[in-house]
Chain A
């Protein structure tokens, strides 16, 4: 909880007294920083298991509290008034964003907080640059990199926020020679940065450098489609962390380096996992403009005369005879916010002795782990949430697979058609289940922009409806059966 943060705020008036004893507070500062660095590492270690995860938050708070107290009592800090004001303003922004945000909006909140974190690092870098004379070459290089990553992550994260909040179009925005233009902007930004390192007297270049970094952030995210957001959010997370680590280099603060490096590696790992889950490279995600509707795809050939639509009663009958059901949620579940009715369906099936599991694709939704959080919010026990590798071998023993607002992650073309844009992407093999029910509003393509032959299979029934309405109807029909 934020209690430690408020203790800092409330305890502030007493701190100048401590700070005046500079000789004694010196060891105190080092001690707090060392303990904080160790605690951050422990926090991430404890987060690896749901059983210890809440302890991770607790020790993370302690670490942050120590680091902040250690800094406040350092002799460098002499003016507390505005810091106190900033704490209250920060808490006034942060608390509502955390407490009242619906779980379906977590990707947007995450993007926004990456923007806050990275611009904070960039502003610190800017202030340091403006006020410090004769910065060494290595420090200047770290500073330039800190500002470059900070500013580009700021505008990039704001763009990601806009796309996730649907203020901006979710499909990739492309124009002619986009990659050449984007790389030129980045090249120019780096070149200006290099000049600033070697010829620091050319201060007039600084505003140009900042502007180029800001523009590159926008240009980088424009061609990225909504479904690539899991990778991009993870990557922006990594940049924000690296920017904090670089600040550590500039300010000679090893605790900052450790915390920033941890964040940087976490974002990096997550984006690698996301790329692997789509069988695509970083370059393809960033520069591929993936997700434009493909003109080559002949939806009519795939679907014509073969798609069977069904009613809630049909699904209820299927479920009535089922012994094992696997539900595969996708972004559609988040859009229709139907996780709570899904929980009702889950309860009902369990009470009838049906074994129910959820098959979660790593990139389902708009950020890593998005589906798990939504289902956990709906109080579905996490031991029923299965990863792709765990659930795939069980589809042959599954009577009904319910695909709820997912599309490309269940497309069998990934296994069968080497020319498909999603060839080789690991998919959930729902087509191997005895029957498949697809709940989807229409036959419109998913992020890959290609038709899905699953919808035309003999054992597939299409339930054309909004997720929430469809599941509610199925529950009603099951009660009637």
Chain B
């Protein structure tokens, strides 16, 4: 049952992701990539468990696993912090012009003048 519901969750999240992300304007494709990069650093959660859990005495490779876990926490956390920071830095730069675009009117005037 656990497996079935996990696959179901994965499937639904993928469909939802496809629908939501399809609507993202090409203008924001770079921030989208850096934001999803930060979100996928959610693997920090798994790394925290590996780094902080108690290993029964005699567990093979317990010390190595801990080292790998700590390394993974550092790497994933650098993406958490860096990913959100740079996404915000980029989005801050996107500004609208002072007046609404008047493309249509300018064109029609010019075509009328010809």
* Chain A positions near chain B (C-beta within 8 angstroms): 1-2, 5, 40-41, 43-45, 47-50, 53-54, 56-57, 60-61, 63-64, 67-68, 71-72, 74, 76-80, 82-83, 85-87, 89-91, 93-95, 97-99, 101, 103, 106, 109-110, 113-114, 116-117, 119-121, 123-124, 126-128, 130-131, 138, 233-234, 237, 240-241, 243-245, 247-249, 251-270, 273, 323-324, 355, 357, 360, 362, 367-370, 372-373, 376-377, 379, 381-385, 387, 394, 397
Contact B10 A94 (CB under 8 A): no
The listed residue with most A CB atoms (<10 A of its CB), out of B41, B61, B91, is B41
A64-B38, A113-B37 given as contacts; is B80 within 8 A of A121 (CB)?
A: no
Which residues on the A side are within 8 Å of B64 (C-beta)? Answer: 127, 130
Which residues on the A side are within 8 Å of B51 (C-beta)? Answer: 79, 82-83, 86
- From 26 to 77 in chain B, residues with beta carbon under 8 angstroms from any chain A beta carbon are 26-55, 59-62, 64-66, 68-77
Closest to B82 in A: A94
Residue among A80, A94, A103, A258 making CB contact with B78, cutoff 8 Å: A94
Residue among B18, B61, B75 making CB contact with A120, cutoff 8 Å: B75
- Cβ distance A426 to chain B, nearest Cβ, rounded Å: 13
Which residues on the A side are within 8 Å of B59 (C-beta)? Answer: 131
A1 to B88, CA, bound (A): 7
Interface size on B, residues (CB 8 A): 93
What is the total of A-B residue contacts with beta carbons within 8 Å?
394
Residue among B41, B66, B94, B96 making CB contact with A117, cutoff 8 Å: B41
A79 to B48, CA, bound (A): 10
8 contacts between A and B (CB under 8 A): A53-B91, A113-B83, A117-B76, A124-B47, A260-B42, A266-B33, A367-B29, A381-B95
Contact A382 B95 (CB under 8 A): yes
Closest to B107 in A: A397
Residue among A64, A91, A103, A355 making CB contact with B42, cutoff 8 Å: A64
Contact B79 A94 (CB under 8 A): yes
Which residues on the B side are within 8 Å of A241 (C-beta)? Answer: 36, 40
Contact B86 A98 (CB under 8 A): yes
* Chain B positions near chain A (C-beta within 8 angstroms): 2-3, 5-6, 9-10, 13-18, 20-55, 59-62, 64-66, 68-98, 100-101, 103, 106-107, 110-111
Q: Is the interface of B mostly helix, strand, loop or mixed?
A: helix
A128 to B61, CA, bound (A): 10
Which residues on the B side are within 8 Å of A265 (C-beta)? Answer: 13-15, 17-18, 21
Contact B10 A245 (CB under 8 A): yes
Contact B84 A47 (CB under 8 A): no
A94-B85, A116-B78 given as contacts; is B32 within 8 A of A266 (CB)?
A: yes
Contact A68 B45 (CB under 8 A): yes
The listed residue with most B CB atoms (<10 A of its CB), out of A98, A244, A253, is A98
Which residues on the B side are within 8 Å of A116 (C-beta)? Answer: 75-76, 78-79
- Cβ distance B4 to chain A, nearest Cβ, rounded Å: 10
Residue among A48, A72, A258, A268 making CB contact with B9, cutoff 8 Å: A258
A248 to B44, CA, bound (A): 11
Contact B94 A87 (CB under 8 A): no
Contact A82 B66 (CB under 8 A): yes
A94-B77, A127-B50, A323-B110 given as contacts; is B41 within 8 A of A120 (CB)?
A: yes
Contact A261 B88 (CB under 8 A): no
Contact A95 B33 (CB under 8 A): no
Residue among B9, B41, B73, B111 making CB contact with A257, cutoff 8 Å: B9
A101 to B30, CA, bound (A): 14
Contact A47 B43 (CB under 8 A): no
Which residues on the B side are within 8 Å of A80 (C-beta)? Answer: 52
Residue among B17, B72, B73 making CB contact with A262, cutoff 8 Å: B17
- Cβ distance A25 to chain B, nearest Cβ, rounded Å: 14
Residue among A94, A233, A264, A370 making CB contact with B14, cutoff 8 Å: A264
A1-B85, A130-B61, A130-B64 given as contacts; is B50 within 8 A of A53 (CB)?
A: no
